[in-house]
Amino acid sequence: GRHSMLPRHVQRLGRDWITHWNGSQILTFNSPVSSSMRWAGHYPPWASFPLPISADFSANWRFPPFFGPWRQFQSSSWHLDNYTQSCCFHLPSPSMKSEGEEPLTKKRRLSAQDDTSGPEQETNLSNQKEVSCLSVAQNEEIHGSKKGTIKRHWEYFCQQSKTMKIAKNKGSDQSSIGSEATFDFTVMSYNILSQNLLEDNCHLYKHCRQRLLFWTYRFPNILQEIKELDADVLCLQEVQEDHYRTEIKSSLESLGYHCEYKMRTGRKPDGCAICFKTSKFSLISSNPVEFFRRDIPLLDRDNVGLVLLLQPRFHCKANAAICIANTHLLYNPRRGDIKLTQLAMLLAEIASVASQKDGSFCPIIICGDFNSVPGSPLYKFIKEGKLNYEGLAIGKVSGQEQFPRGQRILSIPIWPKKLGISQNCVYEVKQQQKEESAGEKLEAAKPDNTQEIVIASEKLSSKLQHHFKLSSVYSHYFPETGIPEVTTCHSRSAVTVDYIFYSAANENTATHTYQPGAEDSFCGGLKLLGRLALLTEKDLWTVNGLPNEKNSSDHLPLLAEFRLIER
């Protein structure tokens, strides 16, 4: 009777709760949500904990649409399922079997294996918005649904690698295993999902429980993954600067890593990091790459890269070196011109860093989130070493969209000459030095011949090249089924955008196409010994996609084992 105008769902919450609603609380619904809003001290008997909302809650999380005028709230046909999805606590609804259980429409499909343990939550009392949800997380642990996990297996390409892996798990030192002439090491590429970017793009994580999205929950999970996979080199993307400074760097250093970091140049406070075990490598040089150029309108984005030159500590010649590069290219699917230019800048820096005294290149590994799918023009350019982009639509470069919205054709050339990078993706200063050492024969040519040369160079200007013979660690499709592998999975998409490329030793590269003479331009190469298998989209949705209870990024870590083959 008294509350007959309220929606039926509210009436079912319990008369005890409704009787405590007074005029002051109704006025709160009539006005925009206050930054100091709190629930009344009373709470319904079915709740096993109070329902606090922190002072800055409204600044970080969206409230349901019924928090507007009271009349609109009265007439709206809202549902509790929608309400609980947007808040950090759960209310029971008719579709729930018991307290704390997920609504039937949102139940997760779990894998056959269930995990009974979770990472310890590090509570930061100074962060009120996280504290307000921690009590909820504890309640969900008591009443919540089961956790699912998927085991990723190791794929071996060498029997000796399998033997060494088993020996390593038993605690043996590599120095006592196998031939003294070999140097084996592992490399991980992992986009760990910046907390700042997560909160700016919360629409991508509607499928996740709110408690799983807090950094205090996510970081212990990410650190545990890194510990378990135990890679010798880490290439991390979306590393938030404040988290790197206060937690990530010190945590990785305690595990025996030396860390190098490059923050983005714009307002977004994340960047790329390369961390290596000091027991396996020593640092020769660290070279950050900034893709933003104030004097070039094309390069107005703040993405970055990082290139390290490392020296193996044992089993190698004194002058042995490995070049490790890490980057996170622009996301925008409609700006393939920027993506290709950023890639060319990274390749030019790699060519400069990896160059040896005899003119050859040391072995190279390029990791990162390239925001491009397998088979796209950008992907083919990396693997094949050449790309003719004449007539190529700007939105087709990365292959991210099935029906590209960017229809403008790439200009020829893509970037201006003042960038100082040639169509061969090397710094033009070094290229000019090589030409000068060979003699400048063009100056002695006749005017007619010069004109022909200029015309020929204009026709060739739509062709990009690089002189690295690169292979991909992953094949991107499962050979038995043809189903695509997935490296990222959230509410909008599930695709491969993360890669580990490497300069393969000759025995690994028979099926790849390279530049003429490039086989002799490398000082040895790398042999792929094994990799951590990826998953399908269907596999990931059995544990509710990414992030989930055990995987706290929207990307999967990529991991490969290599052997250094010296020339």
C-alpha pair distances (Å), 150 with each of 153, 436, 538, 550? 10, 58, 11, 9
Position 351, amino acid: A
Q: What is the pLDDT of residue 176?
A: 47
Contacts of 136 (CB under 8 A, 6+ apart): 49, 88, 89, 90, 210, 211
According to DSSP, the residues that pair with 427 across neighbouring strands are 421
Distance CA 222, CA 238 (A): 13
DSSP 412-432: SSSS-GGG-B-TTSSBHHHHH
Distance CA 91, CA 240 (A): 34
> To the nearest 10°, the Cα dihedral for 426, 427, 429, 434?
-10
Contacts of 364 (CB under 8 A, 6+ apart): 322, 323, 325, 350, 354, 468, 470, 502, 503
Q: Is 535 in contact with 556 (CB distance < 8 Å)? A: yes
Q: Is 282 helix (H, G, I), strand (E, B) or coil?
A: strand
DSSP 16-81: HHHTT--HHHHHHHHSPPPTT----S---TT-SS-----TTHHHHSPPPTTSS-HHHHHH----HH
Sorted by where each starts, the structural domains of the chain and their CATH numbers stand as: 182-426+460-507+521-565 (3.60.10.10)
**The sheet that has 270-277: what strands, in order across it?**
154-156, 525-532, 558-565, 183-191, 233-240, 270-277, 257-263
pLDDT tens digits in sequence order for the chain, 567 residues long: 445 555 554 454 544 444 444 444 444 444 444 444 434 444 444 444 444 444 444 444 444 444 444 434 444 444 434 434 444 433 333 333 333 333 333 333 333 334 434 444 444 433 444 433 333 334 344 333 336 788 999 999 987 666 556 556 655 555 444 445 689 999 999 999 999 999 999 999 999 999 999 999 999 999 999 999 999 999 999 999 999 999 999 999 999 999 999 999 999 999 999 999 999 999 999 999 999 999 999 999 999 999 999 999 988 888 899 999 999 999 999 999 999 999 999 999 999 999 999 899 999 999 999 999 999 999 999 999 999 999 999 999 999 999 998 789 999 999 999 999 999 999 998 666 665 555 555 455 545 554 444 444 445 589 999 999 999 999 999 999 999 999 999 999 999 999 999 999 986 443 344 343 444 466 689 999 999 999 999 999 999 999 999 999 999 999 999 999 987
Q: What is the pLDDT of residue 222?
A: 98
Residues 223, 228, 231, 237, CA torsion sign: negative
Contacts of 120 (CB under 8 A, 6+ apart): 220
Q: What is the pLDDT of residue 471?
A: 98
Q: What is the pLDDT of residue 431?
A: 61
* Tokens read off for 560: 């490969």
Distance CA 257, CA 243 (A): 17
DSSP 136-187: HHHHHHHH----B--PPPEEES-HHHHHHHHHHHTT--GGGSS-TT-EEEEE
Q: What is the pLDDT of residue 528?
A: 98
pTM (global) more than 0.95:
no
Distance CA 413, CA 423 (A): 8
CA angle 110, 114, 120 (to 5 degrees): 115
Q: Is 214 exposed, middle or buried (0-12, 13-18, 19+ CB in 10 A)?
A: buried
Q: What is the pLDDT of residue 149?
A: 83
Q: What is the pLDDT of residue 29?
A: 44
